[in-house]
Amino acid sequence: MKNDRQQNDYENRIALELARLGIAQELITQKQLPFYVEAQELTIAETDDAGRAYQMTPATAAAWMAMKQAARQDNIVLEVVSAFRSIERQIEIIQYKLDRNMPIEKILTLSAPPGYSEHHTGRAIDINTPGCIATETEFEDTAAFCWLTANAGGFGFTLSYPRDNALGFIYEPWHWCFQADAPDENNI
């Protein structure tokens, strides 16, 4: 972030939300989760058939569109099912799981706490392909995943949560993050 006061305000806001959700700082420290700030500049990369707009940083949107077009040339259809997520949206996701009596330790294998989600950066994209249930492990068995594994790196995207990842998240073959434009202030 550009100044120390903004950074402190952001960190304090996250600390308050974590406390409200009952997420102990010790859990985050134990998992060694990277801290992310929300993207300051976003653009609508695309809008789906239901009218949902997906926001990304401008560089991520350009890379996504180029990658999607290259995949299409190889007869692979890539669809975005999630992109930028605000702190508020991440809180809703965690609260939904808490309201269903899911233990916080389990939640933190499925979802990052607010302030610790790559989606805040506007560079993370959850990807799917027709005929596959979104955000399910079966995505790894698709031609789209094979294509991404072979080609996404050339567009600046990396698989964030491979099997047995160090952060303790479940394997997410659908979650890819654009790294080519990652400014230092996105990860404090």
The residue from 17, 38, 172, 185 that is catalytic is: 172
Residue 36 gets which letter from DSSP?
Answer: B
Confirm whether 17 is a catalytic residue. Answer: no
Q: Count CB neighbours of 18 within 10 A.
A: 20
Longest alpha-carbon distance in the chain: 49
How many angstroms separate the CA atoms of 88 and 110, rounded? 17
Q: How far is CA 7 from CA 10, 12, 187, in A?
A: 5, 9, 11
How many angstroms separate the CA atoms of 101 and 137, rounded? 23
CB 129 within 8 A of CB 76: yes
Burial category of 123 from C-beta neighbours within 10 Å (exposed 0-12, middle 13-18, buried 19 and up)? buried
Burial category of 102 from C-beta neighbours within 10 Å (exposed 0-12, middle 13-18, buried 19 and up)? middle
Residue linked to tokens 């698989």: 159
Kindly list the catalytic residues.
172
